[in-house]
Structures are given as C-alpha cells and as structure tokens.
C-alpha cells in the first residue's frame, strides 16, 4: 500500500499497517475513494448517453422506424427474428383476407362463384394464430385468388375506412405467393412491412460515437400505454409518430374511434405532460405515401378535427393544415417541436430524418456534451481525434 503523507490520520482503527512512518489512508477509505472516482467517471460517460422515446398510438409506425434505424446502423437480425418476420408476413396476409371475408358477410354481399366460396371457407377455418404448417400453397392460392378475382372482396376493400384492417394489407396480398414458399427469404422491404404488434418496452442501443443512443420502442395500443410511465425518466428527446393515413380510419381497439382523433389527443397528453415540458419533440407525420393517394379520393374534412379545412386539397396544403392542428395542441413554447413528413417504409426518409434529429440533439446539448468529451479525453477515456 502506498503511503500518503500529510493527510489526516484516521481514528477508526482501520488503518492499514506498514513499516513506513508516514500517515496512511485506511483500507476502507481507499476503496471508497476508488469507488468515488469510478462513479465520477461513469457520471461523465452518462452525459454522452441519450435516451429517446418512440411514442404514438398503435400502428403509427414506431417499430417500423426502429427497424429502419437498425438496418441503417447495420444491426444484424437473429435467425429467430427472421423466422418471426416470415411467420408474421404469412399471418398478416391471412388475417387481413379473413377480415375482408367477414366484411363481405357483414355488408350482406354475395361471392360471385362457388370457387370463391370454397376458398373463403378454407381461409375462415384457419385463424391468424395458426402454426406455420397450416400456411400451405392452397392458403396462399386462396388469398391470391380472392384478392385478384372476387368482386365482393374488391367492393369491401373500397369501404376499408369503415372497419379496421392493417394499412399494409394490399402489400401482403400482392406478395403472399412469395411468402408461402419454403425457401422464402424476406427482402428489406418485407421486414419493414411485416406487422408485429409491440407489447411492453423494447430498448435498442445505437452507437454514434462518441454518443450512445438508447431508443425505446413501446406498444401504442390503449392497454399498452399504461406501461409508458416506466420509461419517462431522464428522457433526452421524444420522437412522436402520427399516422397521417389515420384521418379516415378507425382504431383496432375501438372501431368507433377515428385514428387521427386518438392521435391528436395522445399527442396533446404527451406534449403537455409535466415530465416533458422542456423535452424536444420530433413529430414525424408518417405514411405520407398512403395519405397522398387517399386524399385524392377522400377529403381530410371527414376527420372531425379537420372539418374546417377549406383549402385546395393538395398534399402540401393538407400537410400544413394537419401540422397546424398539432401545433395548436402545445400549451407551452413551440420551438421544442420539429416536424417531419415521412413514409417510414422508405429507408431514405428515415435516414435523412434521423440524421437531422441527431444533429439537432447535438446542437441542443452542445455545451454539456463538449465538456464531457473534453473531460474524457483528459482522462484517456476517449481518443484525442474524436469530435462531437
């Protein structure tokens, strides 16, 4: 043990004895000292950690954004994740076609041929929790046949804003024959479009040296939201995702509630929550692709919150109007809100949005981050050439 001269002698009797006549740190105190130093270092390193919450109602696209971020940061998927996606793509196709078949019955429409009736009956026998063995070529063929040939299915598809169905249903139908193959290998787009509802809280680490981001994905459906409170501490930024195409569709968990109305209320609750009054919010209006094609046929005025819209109805004007409605929800300063219009299904949209968000977070925390980097360099914990 090294002697430390000229410091106070301890009276606790725990002094570490050696042959030296100097005054010694007690063993206990030395350990405490080391722990203190470690904690101090961890505290400085923690300043380079950024926690970002992905919030929004169910099916807004939070997990889609996260999937894109993982691909952008080259985080490889495990074999079991790949299998989950394959299975979910098959289930998504079956679930969506079964919803259309039920709607044919609900609207009291008739299938136009016995072949359609038989194929619909085959699908109705299965539910979307079936094991993978049930997804045979016959099942894929039945989905494909009904989608391409049955006019009653086409008719209810046109009415899809009146009942709940996944936004990417047509993608699953168009590709179901590929999904069912034994040697099916999903493309990047398949991974992005596969729908697996999130339950609980999922944390993903993204290293953007010298910063370390923890992106927290949560389930957005009503019964999942009560878990959100568990991740509200030490949040550096919120990415709130709003599903633009929800203006004329209903919620999965309550088919009497318009998705956009739910989203506006949720946004107001989050943005005005005491815990986040000074937290930057990045508001991502998602599914621009669907919105753009929908507004050609149905005005945004069908949504209660947008009924006073009387503009020309083109994409940019509608987007500006929707943005204005969201900004009006903010009860405090609005400069902490940044808005992006995206289609999360396209990687380039997420890439540019993410780069902007990271740059903005760096600017907003510049002073603190730079001082932590300087301190860590001085302690040899970071290479000298590293920059914010």
Residues of this chain that bind ligand GTP (CB under 6 A): 56, 58-64, 166-168, 193, 195, 197-198, 219-221, 286-287, 289-290, 343-345
Tell whether residue 92 is a contact of Mg ion (CB under 5 A).
no
Residues 6+ apart with CB under 8 A from 72: 347, 350, 351, 354
Task: Count Cβ atoms below 10 Å from residue 201 Cβ, excluding itself.
Answer: 15
- Active-site residue 9, yes or no? no
For this structure, is 221 an active site residue? yes
**Annotated binding-site residue? 216:** no
Q: What is the DSSP string of 42-104?
A: HHHHHTTEEEEEEE-STTSSHHHHHHHHHHHTTPPPPHHHHHHHHHHHHHHHHHHHHHHHHHH
Binding status of residue 204 toward Mg ion by CB under 5 A: no
User: Could you tell me the smallest distance in angstroms from the CB atom of residue 1 to Mg ion?
Assistant: 55
Query: C-beta of 195: minimal distance to Mg ion in Å?
Result: 9
Query: Please, what is the minimum distance in Å from the beta carbon of residue 377 to Mg ion?
Result: 39
95 annotated among ligand-binding-site residues: no
Interface with Mg ion in residues 46-75 (CB under 5 A): 62-63
Closer by beta carbon to ligand GTP, 193 or else 318: 193
198 binds Mg ion (CB under 5 A): yes
Q: Quick one: what does residue 60 bind among Mg ion, ligand GTP, none, with the CB cut-off 5 to 8 Å set by partner type?
A: ligand GTP
Let me know if 301 is a catalytic residue: no
Collect all residues with Cβ–Cβ distance below 8 Å to 362 and sequence separation of at least 6: 211, 369, 388
Nearer to ligand GTP, 169 or 300 (CB): 169
Indicate which of ligand GTP, Mg ion, none lies near residue 344 (CB less than 5 to 8 Å, by partner kind): ligand GTP
- 372 labeled binding residue: no
Is 105 a binding residue for Mg ion by CB under 5 A? The answer is no
Region label for 208, one of left (φ > 0), alpha (ψ between -120 and 50) or beta (otherwise): beta
Sheet holding 201-208, edge to edge: 201-208, 211-218, 49-55, 237-243, 281-286, 337-341
Per the residue annotation, which of 91, 195, 259, 336 is the catalytic one?
195
Q: Which is nearer to Mg ion, 62 or 119 (CB)?
A: 62
DSSP string, 318-329: HHHHHHHHHHTT
Strands 237-243 and 49-55: parallel
317 is in an annotated binding site: no
Q: At residue 4, what are phi and psi to the nearest 5 degrees?
A: -115, 100
CB of 56 to ligand GTP, least distance (A): 6
Strand partners for 153: none
Spatial distance between the Cα atoms of 175 and 93, rounded to a whole number of angstroms:
9
Residue 279 binding Mg ion, by CB under 5 A: no
Number of residues that bind Mg ion (CB under 5 A): 3
Q: Among residues 87, 212, 221, 329, which one is catalytic?
A: 221
327 is catalytic: no
Nearest residue relative to ligand GTP (C-beta): 220
Q: How far is the CB of 63 from Mg ion (least distance, A)?
A: 3
Binding residues for GTP: 59-64, 217-221, 286-289, 344
Interface residues toward Mg ion, by CB under 5 A: 62-63, 198
């Amino acid at each position: 043990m090294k002697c430390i001269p000229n410091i106070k002698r301890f009276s606790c009797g725990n002094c570490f004895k050696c042959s030296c006549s100097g005054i010694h740190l007690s063993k206990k105190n030395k350990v405490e000292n080391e722990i203190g130093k470690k904690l101090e270092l961890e505290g400085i390193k923690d300043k380079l950690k950024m926690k970002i919450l992905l919030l929004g109602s169910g099916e807004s696209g939070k997990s889609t954004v996260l999937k894109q971020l993982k691909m952008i940061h080259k985080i490889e998927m495990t074999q079991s994740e790949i299998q989950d996606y394959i299975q979910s793509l098959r289930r998504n196709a079956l679930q969506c076609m079964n919803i259309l078949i039920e709607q044919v019955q609900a609207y009291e429409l008739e299938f136009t041929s016995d072949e359609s009736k038989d194929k619909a009956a085959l699908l109705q026998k299965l539910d979307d929790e079936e094991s993978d063995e049930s997804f045979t070529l016959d099942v894929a063929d039945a989905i494909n046949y009904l989608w391409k040939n049955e006019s009653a299915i086409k008719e209810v598809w046109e009415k899809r804003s009146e009942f709940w169905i996944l936004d990417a249903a047509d993608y699953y139908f168009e590709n179901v024959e590929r999904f069912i193959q034994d040697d099916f290998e999903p493309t990047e787009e398949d991974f992005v479009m596969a729908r697996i509802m999130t339950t609980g809280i999922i944390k993903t680490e993204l290293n953007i040296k010298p910063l370390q981001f923890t992106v927290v994905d949560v389930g957005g459906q009503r019964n999942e939201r009560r878990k959100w409170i568990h991740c509200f501490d030490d949040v550096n930024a919120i990415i709130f995702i709003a599903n633009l195409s929800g203006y004329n569709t209903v919620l999965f968990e309550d088919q009497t509630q318009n998705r956009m109305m739910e989203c506006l209320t949720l946004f107001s609750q989050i943005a005005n929550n005491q815990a986040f009054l000074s937290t930057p919010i990045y508001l991502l209006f998602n599914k621009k692709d669907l919105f753009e094609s929908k507004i050609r046929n149905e005005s945004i005025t069908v949504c209660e919150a947008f009924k006073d819209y009387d503009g020309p109805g083109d994409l940019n004007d509608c987007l500006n109007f929707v943005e204005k409605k969201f900004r009006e929800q903010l009860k405090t300063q609005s400069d902490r809100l940044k808005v992006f219009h995206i289609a999360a299904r396209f990687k380039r949209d997420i890439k540019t949005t993410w780069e902007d968000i990271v740059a903005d977070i760096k600017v907003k925390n510049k002073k603190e981050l730079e001082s932590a980097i300087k301190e860590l360099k001085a302690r040899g914990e970071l290479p000298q050439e590293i920059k914010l």
